Amino acid sequence: MKLFRILAVILVASLLLGAALPAFAQTPPDTDSRGPKPVKPFEKGKLGVNAELAKFKTIKGEVEEVAPDKIKVNGYELFVATDTKFKVPTLSKAAALADIKVGMLVIVLVYEKDGELYIRHINVVPGKPVMAHNVGTVVEFAYDAATGGEITIEPKKGDNVTFEILAGKFKILPAGAEVTVGSLVTVISSRDPATVNRLIASGVVVHGVKPPVQPEKVAGVISAIDETAKTITIGETVLSYDGNTVFTLHGLLSVQVGQEAAASFVTKDDGTLLALKVTVGVDIP
């Protein structure tokens, strides 16, 4: 009788154990009675749990430190790999670790390897350029519309300042003015926030340049012509003319005294009036 009871107990235990084992084997290691366990995000100074379930993670923040092989962002040490890609506004594909500066705002795509975080891609977030006007004397100036250049000025106080000039994005004001060493100028520039201390000049205003002279006009009857002195008198206004003066004749073969004419002219530094254009044969009201 005792032997029979022992055998019955063993048989029941075997049946219960056999039913429990398949159910246990089907339960994933990362689940419980409430369902799948969520992947724990990165915490400062710690690696994520179950990182194999999400190969890449994103970290956004300010660059706190820069070393030859790594940077620090939001407390994370992020290592540079051989295939790390850098993107810095205005630098295009030429960007490298050397262009990453403390204080920059970055978005970094990272992955975990051998217990460390490695950078797959780092993108510098551009900010709003800070415009400034800088007055000083030109020390060096070199510019080509196709390749760009630089301008260095000596301000009244402080050290010399050098500004980068981008190709095709530079104006010299007023129109017709020239920038030379020794010129007093105001450099219109912006500080590129993506590269912290990169100063870019968008133009210069040259001081001491006279504004262009606006032409005046006169109309009336031609009262005198002096081909030796190269003057023509319209009414009582004596105008000189040169090889650049344009004469337009309406229905006439030549310019003669008594004809009606209209002219535009400018006043030269010596006070004489230079005709720019003379139209002869017009009806003057």
Question: How confident is the model at residue 174, as a pLDDT?
Answer: 87
* % of the chain beyond a pLDDT of 70: 74
Kindly list the distances between the CA atom of residue 254 and the CA atoms of 138, 222, 249, 275, 279, in Å, as whole numbers in the listed order.
52, 12, 7, 17, 12
pLDDT bucket at 14, cuts 50 / 70 / 90:
low
Residues 6+ apart with CB under 8 A from 17: none
What pTM does this model have? 0.37
Task: Tell me the average pLDDT across 60-89.
Answer: 90
How far is Cα 253 from Cα 194, in angstroms, rounded to an integer? 67
Task: Tell me the average pLDDT across 156-173.
Answer: 88
| Paired sense of beta strands 56-66 and 70-73, if any | antiparallel
Question: How confident is the model at residue 149, as a pLDDT?
Answer: 93
Most confident of 100-104, 199-203, 237-241: 237-241
The token pair that represents 186 in the structure block: 């105001």
Instruction: Give me Rg for the CA atoms of the chain.
Output: 41
Question: Higher confidence at residue 96 or residue 48?
Answer: 96
pLDDT bucket at 44, cuts 50 / 70 / 90:
very low
